[in-house]
Each structure stands twice: as C-alpha cells, then as structure tokens.
Structure 1
Amino acid sequence: MSGQQAAPRPRPPGTVKVGTIAGSDVLVTSSWFVVAVLIAVVIAPRAEAVHPGLGPWKYVAGLAFAILLYLSVLLHEASHALMARHFGFPVSHITLHFLGGLTSIEAEVKKPRQEFWIAVVGPLTSVAVGLVSLGLCFVVPDGLLLMAAQGLAVTNLLVGAINLFPGLPLDGGLVLKSAIWKLTGNQYRGTLVAAWGGRFCAFLVLFWPFLQQALFGVQPDVFDFLFAFVVGFFLWNGATAGLQAARIRSRLPSLVARDLARRTLAVPEDLPLAEAVRRAREAQAGAIVTVTGSGRPVGVVNEAALMATPEERRPWLATSTVARGVDSGLSLPVGIAGEDLVRAITRAPATEYLLVEDDGTVYGVLTTADVDRAFRSVPQ
C-alpha cells in the first residue's frame, strides 16, 4: 500500500530548483543565468591568456569559473541554513541570485546568541573557502587551475570581509544587531542600529568610485559607477526594509488578544438569527458564538454574513447559517499577544477568532478589524 506523496513546496516566481541541501530546496533565479554568462564573457580573455589556444572553449572555462564561484556562495548560504537548523529553525529554501544568495529561515530567533551564530557562520565560511583556495595557489600548476584558485581566493576573502560590514541586510548587520540586543535587551533597538548602519554602508558604496580615485589613484569607469549604484541600491533597500520591520515589530507588543476581545453571547445553533441578534443587542455583546446543547462552542457568527442577511429573512434562518465553524486555527488562547498573535492569524486567515481560557471556557471573540485598528492606533 503506497503512502501519499507530500505536496511540492511552492517556489518564488522566476526561480528554478536545482537540488536540496539538508532538506532545504536550492533555487536559482533567472538573473543568475544572465550574470553567469556575463562572468563567462569577462573571464574568457583571462582564460585564453593563461592557456593559449582555447578558442571558443575559453567561454566554457569562464562559465566553469562562474559555477565554481556560485558554489562557494552556496557553501556560504548552506552554513547559515545548517546553523539555523542546529537551533531548531526550519529553512524552506536557499536562493542564488545575481548579487549572491539568500537563506529563507521560517522563524524568528529568540536569543541574540542564535542571531549571532546564524549570521557570522556565513562570512566565516567564505573566509575559510578563501584561505583554502589561497593555499591551493601554492600547489596547483600554472594555467586554468591556478587562475581558478586565485579567483576563488580573492572573491571569497572579499565576500567574507564585505559581509562583516556592520549594516543590514549584510551578515555583519545581523551580528551588530545581536550585539546591541545582548547589551540592551531590546531586539528592536538592535535592528534600528543595524539598519542605519546598512544605510551608511550604502552611502559609502555609492561614493566608492570617487574614493578609489582619491585613495588609490585609480580612474573609475562606467562599470564602476554602475556596479556601485546596483550594490548601493540593494543595501539601501535592505536597510530600509529592516527599519520598517523594526518599527512594525516595536508596535506588536501592544496587541494583546485579551484586551481586544469583544463581549460574546453564546446561543444555541438552531436559534433563529433574529432572536440571536436581539439577545446580543440586549446584552450589549459585540459577537455571537453558537454552541451545542452541552455548551460546546462550534461556530462564530461572521459579521459580514450577518449584515448581508436581510432583516426580514432573519426570523426564518438558524444562527448557524451565518456562523463559521471553529476549528483549531480559529480558536486561540486568550493570552496570546504580539508576534505570536500576528503569526496565528496569518496561518489561518479569518475575520473572527474564538478566544478561550486555559480550561477551554469561552472568553470572547477577536476580530481582525479590531487587531488592525489597534495596530494603527499605536504611536510609531
């Protein structure tokens, strides 16, 4: 008897799955193929110089180097994924794109120590690959192998060093965030500092072509300015996203389900809807829950469905006809708050949720409209 196959994981648009590492899908974006070809074209003349007579094969050598380069990027990202799994966090996929890679960790870290090690292991891996490649430069023969070893040494040492810059979205930004979090006990303050550090790094990158001319006497060309703009734009956007996320999360602790609960009236499932509404108004209840004869809650009246039901029909309809069944995702503990609350309503989208005490008794009903209103009312 064959078991059911697990449903394939949804992939971000514009990506291709090329394998798995430690249970995480490895995805490649379409932009990667463009950059790989560009790297092959740029490297081809160098390959021809170190190994004359290659002819068209010089582009194959350039493409092979591009693949080796991104394999080292994959090692960088895989180290993030393995460290995250070490701490018990699920990792959905690793994505290789034109500027490097991204490891998608599907959980928020709870301790600065976890943030530090998940972040720092990536640059350390790149530095280690760079040092190994540097060592190979002394043992491999001249030619394409030496060119590849030298290229991997330079790029990985550079990637490791740049990623330790103290600004989001770089790994060094997460290291800085973890340090501020540890010192102050405030995760969001750490994010703010690291995000502003990322904006400062973006500013430096944008002005790097001018700095290299002033410091090293190297005349920048169009490629230098274009590359600085692309990287600076990437860093600025990543830092800005970090700032926005920090501001949002700083407001989440004010969202407490118990404080937002509506007074609730419990009625039998088969009670006429008009009578349920009359009782709710009389009791000044903001929500209606349907219960069985034994008092077990089975549904929450949907406010939109209720308002869409004409008043002349309500005496002839059972209240259960406009109630949404209460399953595990729509029944929440009354003490839930902050990020846990947001994650819970994101996992099971609905307009109303039943709030229950630890002993299973109904406390009230929470609506997403009330959550949204409370979130917007918190000062930034």
Structure 2
Amino acid sequence: MSDPADPPGPRTPGEPPERPPATPRPPGTIRIGSIAGSDVLVSSSWFLVAGLVAVLIAPAIEQVQPGLGAWKYVAGLAFAVVLYLSVLLHEASHAIVARRLGFPVTSITLHFLGGMTAIEGEARRPREEFLIAVVGPLTSIGVGVVAGGLWFVAPDGLIRFTVGGLAGANLLVGVLNLVPGIPLDGGRVLKSAVWAVSGDVHRGTVVAGWGGRVTAGLVLLWPLLQEAVFGTPPTLIDFVLSFVIALFLWTGSSQAITSAKVRARLPQLVARDLARRTLTVPDDLPLAEAVRRAQEARAGGIVTVTAGGQPIGIVNEAALLAVPEERRPWLAVSVVARTLDPGLRLPATLSGEELVLAISRNPATEYLLLEGDGSIYGVLATADVDAAFRAGQR
C-alpha cells in the first residue's frame, strides 16, 4: 500500500526527484537500509508478528522436517523474514514507480499488517494513480508465480516448504490487495477509474472509501462464514485477526472519505474574495488616529508603511482590541503591528489547497495580500478563512 502526503512542487514525469529533506524517524521504528533513495524502516510491531508467525508455522515445519526440536522456531522466524522480504519488494515497486513519475518517497515501512510506502504528493492524473497503485499487487502476483514455478524443481524439505509458502502468500496478498477498497491498492485502482470517468478525484476517493468500508464489514463477518465455506470452525485467533484487519480497513477508508470531502470544499476558499479592505498608515501614527481613519474608510485591516509606501507591518486585531481606548492616543500604531516577514506576504491569487498550505507553513492571524506587481490588495484574516470553510460545510 502507498500513502500520499502533501503535494510536492511540479516535476516532469520521468525526472528523478530530489531526495526529500530528512525527516524525524517515526517512533518505534528501526532503519535497516534504503531502496530507491528511500529509507526502509521496520516497526517494533513487526517483531511481534514475526514471532507469532514462527510459533504458528512451527508445527508444519516439524511435519516437513522432523527432529528439529527448538530449531523449528528458528526456521519459522526465517520463513517470516523471507515472507516480509517479498512484502518489501511489493512496497519497493510502489516507490520506484512513484519516483519515476516525479514524486519523492520518504520511506518504506514494514509493520504487522504488511507495509506502507510514504509518497509525498497526490497523483495529478488518473493514470499516475493507477500505475502507482497497481504495480504493488502485480509485483506480489509475479513473485507468487515465480515461486510457484520453483516449487516444482525445489528439493523436498524446508526449501520446498518455504518456496511453496512464499508462492501461496504472495498470490494471496496480490489478489487481496486488488480488492476495490481504500486503503488497499485496489481501492486506489478503483479511485483512478472513477476519477477518469467522472473527472472528479474527490468522487473517486469517496467511492473507493466506501468500497473499503464494505470490505471491512465482510472481513469482520468472515470467521462466521469460514466454517460454511471451508468446513473449519473459527478459533479465537480468527476472530481477533478479523477484528484487527477490519478496524484497519474501516479507519483508513473513513479517513480517506473525510479527507476527500474536506478537499472538495477547499476550492471555495479564494484569498481575493476573503480579503478585508485595507488602510495604510505610517508606523508612528497614533493608534487612535489609525483606528479613526480605518473606521472612516470602513477598512477591516491596517498596514503600516514606510515613507516610500513600502509595507512593513500588519496590525494584529487582537492586540489592538486589547489596548484601552484611553491609551490609544499615546501609543504608536507600530506597537500593535507585527513585522511583515516573507511568510506573511501572500499572492492575492491563492485559493484552495495552495491557500491552506501557505497559511499552515506560517501560522498567523493576519496576512498581507499582494498583487502580481507588488501592490497591496488587502488583508486576509485567518478567522475569515475558517468562517468561510465552516460555511461551506453547511
């Protein structure tokens, strides 16, 4: 599975992306190397699952190779390592295709449910979404087919047992990952198909998210159905595993649906439409006079400028309201103005996700909006952006 993050800058497909800046390693993970320029991490939960696999598979190993004693658990652990190496191939294929399409990949993490590839950015076209998603299951199926072919020529014993187990596990992983529901790769394949047909990426995500929820429900019911299908009564482990996997699927699909609905509303946020009328004043002007002029001009924002008209500060509304009226004649407006750092100067043309990202990079209560020629357009208040977004939710 792959996990998209914040969009990177535009790149030409096929151009090798720059390695993303180093980010703190997630807690509870160990770096074991790198693939395609991306860190390979192993979560602490993997060791628990590897031990569980070793214990569960030990009886089968004992049947294949009697007399191993405690070494059967070592052989089981070795099988778990080989199995997760094939999972690593699955995730590496996601990473390689994503990088070929111009998306930085920060890490590949192996965890108790398999693996995850952290890709920075969302696909720009349905084709990119499809290629990045489908290559993982196809890799697993390919590994399964190759291992299945080797099974016929492998010597009897542990080697043949391992090759057979690798074939069956990879074929199962490949097929199950094609189930059309997010967060499975098949969900992203479905998303790309709906996106291509409807032209709406958010609709594609919602449809695939509901596919994930349906899949979660079926997984939760599986222990109750397996006896009718296979004639094997469910055990406590079957119920626990089905619950954990269903919870994982339901959580991932629900997060995707929520994110899609939020992103669908973002285009309604246009900086130019949300700007407040702005008054420019010298920074040494008495605060009371600045407020009087702003009220007279019906301005919702005050910007301090140099003698040459260059903006240097933006008045903080909360700081202004905190100053008692009787003190305002004796204080310069610069006292309640914040210096206009580069991050507080935004193009008036920003909208949607670009606007939200620009605000999140430099959190503040007010921003100065500038035209392309550098002239002042207005003041953007974060409170107004929040209010507009909440209004769009109704």
Q: Which of the residues 85, 90, 93 maps onto 2:104?
A: 90
Percent identity between the two aligned chains: 66
Pairwise CA distance, 1:84 = 1.6
Of stretches 154-163 and 350-359 in structure 1, the one that deviates more from structure 2 is: 350-359
Q: 1:53 is paired with a residue of what secondary structure?
A: coil
Matches of residues 31-180 of structure 1 in structure 2 within 5 Å? Answer: 31-180=45-194
Q: 1:358 is paired with a residue of what secondary structure?
A: coil
Cross-structure match for 2:17 = none
Matches of residues 1-380 of structure 1 in structure 2 within 5 Å? Answer: 8-379=22-393
After superposition, give the CA deviation of every residue in 1:200-245 in whole Å (9 maximum; x if it has no partner): 1112111222322223322222222221111112111111112111
Pairwise CA distance, 1:95 = 1.9
After superposition, give the CA deviation of every residue in 1:100-120 in whole Å (9 maximum; x if it has no partner): 111222212221111111111
Inter-partner Cα distance in structure 1 for 2:21 and 2:141: 38
Inter-partner Cα distance in structure 1 for 2:316 and 2:58: 65
- Structure with more contact order per residue of length (Cα contacts < 8 Å, sep ≥ 6): 2
Count residues in correspondence: 375
Matched letter for residue 163 of structure 1: N
After superposition, give the CA deviation of every residue in 1:52-85 in whole Å (9 maximum; x if it has no partner): 3333222222112112211211221121122222
Query: Closer, same or farther in 2 for the Cα pair 1:299/1:74, shift >3 Å?
Result: farther
After superposition, give the CA deviation of every residue in 1:345-364 in whole Å (9 maximum; x if it has no partner): 12222221211111111111
Inter-partner Cα distance in structure 2 for 1:324 and 1:144: 71
Pairwise CA distance, 1:365 = 1.3
Query: Closer, same or farther in 2 for the Cα pair 1:324/1:18, shift >3 Å?
Result: farther
Inter-partner Cα distance in structure 2 for 1:306 and 1:29: 50
Pairwise CA distance, 1:137 = 1.3
Of stretches 362-371 and 276-285 in structure 1, the one that deviates more from structure 2 is: 276-285
Pairwise CA distance, 1:153 = 0.9
Of stretches 296-305 and 121-130 in structure 1, the one that deviates more from structure 2 is: 296-305
Pairwise CA distance, 1:135 = 2.0
Inter-partner Cα distance in structure 1 for 2:230 and 2:299: 74
Q: What 5-or-longer segments of structure 1 have no aligned partner?
A: 1-5
Pairwise CA distance, 1:337 = 0.9
Pairwise CA distance, 1:324 = 2.4
Inter-partner Cα distance in structure 1 for 2:327 and 2:70: 79
After superposition, give the CA deviation of every residue in 1:303-329 in whole Å (9 maximum; x if it has no partner): 222233344443344333332232332
Inter-partner Cα distance in structure 2 for 1:316 and 1:13: 53
Pairwise CA distance, 1:8 = 4.6
Q: 1:378 is paired with a residue of what secondary structure?
A: helix
Inter-partner Cα distance in structure 1 for 2:209 and 2:22: 35
Query: Closer, same or farther in 2 for the Cα pair 1:129/1:329, shift >3 Å?
Result: farther
Query: Closer, same or farther in 2 for the Cα pair 1:215/1:41, shift >3 Å?
Result: closer
Q: 2:110 is paired with a residue of what secondary structure?
A: strand
Measured on the aligned residues, the alpha-carbon RMSD in Å equals 1.9
Of stretches 351-360 and 176-185 in structure 1, the one that deviates more from structure 2 is: 351-360
Matched letter for residue 228 of structure 1: S
Pairwise CA distance, 1:367 = 1.5
TM-score of the superposed pair, with normalisation by structure 1? 0.93
Cross-structure match for 2:11 = none
Pairwise CA distance, 1:18 = 2.4
Pairwise CA distance, 1:183 = 0.3
Q: 1:207 is paired with a residue of what secondary structure?
A: helix
Matched letter for residue 88 of structure 1: G
Pairwise CA distance, 1:89 = 1.6
Inter-partner Cα distance in structure 1 for 2:229 and 2:58: 30
Of stretches 236-245 and 324-333 in structure 1, the one that deviates more from structure 2 is: 324-333
Matched letter for residue 84 of structure 2: Y
Q: What 5-or-longer segments of structure 2 have no aligned partner?
A: 1-19
Inter-partner Cα distance in structure 2 for 1:318 and 1:27: 55
Of stretches 309-318 and 143-152 in structure 1, the one that deviates more from structure 2 is: 309-318
Q: 1:142 is paired with a residue of what secondary structure?
A: coil
Q: 1:267 is paired with a residue of what secondary structure?
A: strand
Inter-partner Cα distance in structure 2 for 1:324 and 1:69: 57
Of stretches 52-61 and 189-198 in structure 1, the one that deviates more from structure 2 is: 52-61
Q: 2:183 is paired with a residue of what secondary structure?
A: coil
Inter-partner Cα distance in structure 2 for 1:122 and 1:334: 42
